[in-house]
Structure 1
Amino acid sequence: MQQQTFYQQYVEDCLREAELHEYFCREIREAGYSGCTFRRFFNNVEITVRVAELDLVQGKNHERIHQIEAVIAQRLHLPLDNVTIFCDKIVARGLCADILADQLQIKIEKQTPVRQAAMQIIKSALRAGAAGCEVVVSGKLRQQRANCQKYKEGKIITAGKPGKDFIDRAIRHIPLKQGIIGIQVKVFNLKMKDKFGRTQVMPDYVEIK
């Protein structure tokens, strides 16, 4: 069997991570799922899942998380002992765009008025300490013709590298009777942690002590 190059292995790992993300969105959505990371060490696989409720993922006596590990091991054609799942708890739920987007999706599916649901999501983000929040809802909401509605409070930046690093985005698609509704949630936080765990602040952020 021909050995894979670094780039082939990297592309395969990215595809596996995207597949796992889609699986976790269906399986542990009620636990406040907010993304995962996939790492491969030779024949061992480590998966880190970011959730808000650890008990809903682990289950009683860690039964549910072992079942998820068994499903993933079968899909990756690996022994069960070579797959390990770690859970990373989300402390501030109001600063996570994925959790807010899921909450907005549930509200719209329950026929809550769009403006009321969007403003509730924005208020919860601002109460959690966000500098700004923006909600965009598009599709056939009430009229026969599709339109786009945007709700925003606080400060939202869009340009430059800080617009990518300090803005948390989440997109969801809601299939309804009248068609598909698309929602996008943006949360702007003045402080964030990079992939190494270091706290980064906005270039123009000044704190007076």
Structure 2
Amino acid sequence: MIEKLFVKEGIKRVRLNEYFVKELERAGYGGMEIKRTPMGTQITVKVEKPGIIIGKDGKRIKKLTEEVSKRHELDNPQLDVQPIEVPDLCATLMANRLAKLIERGWHFRRAGRSMLQRIMENGTSGCEIVMSGKLKGPRGRTEKMVEGYIKHCGEVAEEMVDRGYAIARVKSGVIGVQVWIVRPDAERPDAFRIIKKEEPEVKEEEVKEEVKEEEVIKEDEEDKDKEYEEEGGGDKEE
């Protein structure tokens, strides 16, 4: 019974995500998060242009909340819209953009390289793009593009890497697009940095004291030389 419940919740999440991808395309949909609260279901939607979802006087978001409640059978859904700080570093958003370029007729290599370069220029340390399907010819194939540092498995990958998936529908069939982006603020476990050894600063007072000591020593040496010369001079006169 528990397994069926998990499967049912997973299907709801996938259908809700597909609904947002279709409805919020103009707003630049970049993913969602679902949390269960005592008040109901809180859905956090990340978009590039929040104003399009909210609408005038919040009418658009109210209508969207009602449609989500009716279609997906969620308990008192509450939509929270958050803007994406750096759109070019959101994996879901970039995957959707890449899928749209392929649907418009761009060659998959040109579109993938262009998107990879755009992502790397925004300060990330690593990115990977995978496209699979009937890219060229009747047979399916997979094209992978990697640049920088990337992790694929383990807890490190879950914390460091943002993953996005989209589908491009073309005449030859369906092409799946996966985008993996290393978050800019992520700390690599194998990273290291060289710390330069700082030389202790010498204060001006200490320098002045050293100069005074040297002057005193010189004066003492000069006095001794004079005394020696005077004594030597007296012997010669005798």
**Superposed displacement of residue 90, structure 1:** 0.8
Aligned-pair Cα RMSD in Å: 2.7
Q: Which moved more, 1:34-43 or 1:114-123?
A: 34-43
CA contact (8 A) 2:44 2:79 kept: yes
Q: Measured at CA, do residues 132 and 20 of structure 1 come closer, stay the same or move farther in structure 2, by a change above 3 Å?
A: same
Q: Measured at CA, do residues 147 and 18 of structure 1 come closer, stay the same or move farther in structure 2, by a change above 3 Å?
A: closer
- Of the three residues 31, 40, 50, the one matched with 1:54 is 50
Alignment partner, residue 213 of structure 2:
none
SS at match of 2:26: helix
Q: Measured at CA, do residues 154 and 43 of structure 1 come closer, stay the same or move farther in structure 2, by a change above 3 Å?
A: closer
Residue 204 of structure 1 pairs with residue 190 of structure 2: yes
SS at match of 1:34: strand
Tell me which amino acid in the other structure corresponds to 2:190: D
Q: Measured at CA, do residues 172 and 73 of structure 1 come closer, stay the same or move farther in structure 2, by a change above 3 Å?
A: closer
Counterparts of 1:149 and 1:77, CA distance in 2: 38
SS at match of 1:169: strand
Tell me which amino acid in the other structure corresponds to 2:188: M
Alignment partner, residue 25 of structure 2:
29
CA contact (8 A) 1:166 1:188 kept: yes
Counterparts of 1:204 and 1:14, CA distance in 2: 35
SS at match of 2:21: helix
Residue 171 of structure 1 pairs with residue 165 of structure 2: yes
Alignment partner, residue 138 of structure 2:
144
Tell me which amino acid in the other structure corresponds to 1:63: K
Tell me which amino acid in the other structure corresponds to 1:87: V
What are the superposed Cα offsets for residues 24-62 of structure 1, whole Å, 9 maximum, x if unpaired? 122112222122222333453322111111012112222
Counterparts of 1:41 and 1:124, CA distance in 2: 38
Counterparts of 1:35 and 1:111, CA distance in 2: 25
Percent identical pairs in the alignment equals 29
CA contact (8 A) 2:123 2:184 kept: no
Counterparts of 1:7 and 1:146, CA distance in 2: 33
Tell me which amino acid in the other structure corresponds to 1:203: P
CA contact (8 A) 1:132 1:187 kept: yes
Alignment partner, residue 39 of structure 1:
35
Aligned pairs for 1:39-118 (under 5 A) are 39-42=35-38, 44-75=40-71, 76=73, 82-118=76-112
- Of the three residues 147, 161, 170, the one matched with 2:155 is 161
SS at match of 1:191: coil
> TM-score normalised to the size of structure 1?
0.79
Q: Which moved more, 1:152-161 or 1:63-72?
A: 152-161
Q: Which moved more, 1:148-157 or 1:14-23?
A: 14-23
Larger proportion of strand: 1
Unaligned runs of at least 5 residues, structure 1 = 193-200
Alignment partner, residue 129 of structure 2:
135
Question: Size of the alignment, in residue pairs?
Answer: 194
Q: Which moved more, 1:20-29 or 1:6-15?
A: 6-15
Alignment partner, residue 204 of structure 2:
none
What are the superposed Cα offsets for residues 151-188 of structure 1, whole Å, 9 maximum, x if unpaired? 22222222432123212222222222112212211112
Counterparts of 2:141 and 2:11, CA distance in 1: 34
**Superposed displacement of residue 125, structure 1:** 0.9
**Superposed displacement of residue 12, structure 1:** 6.1
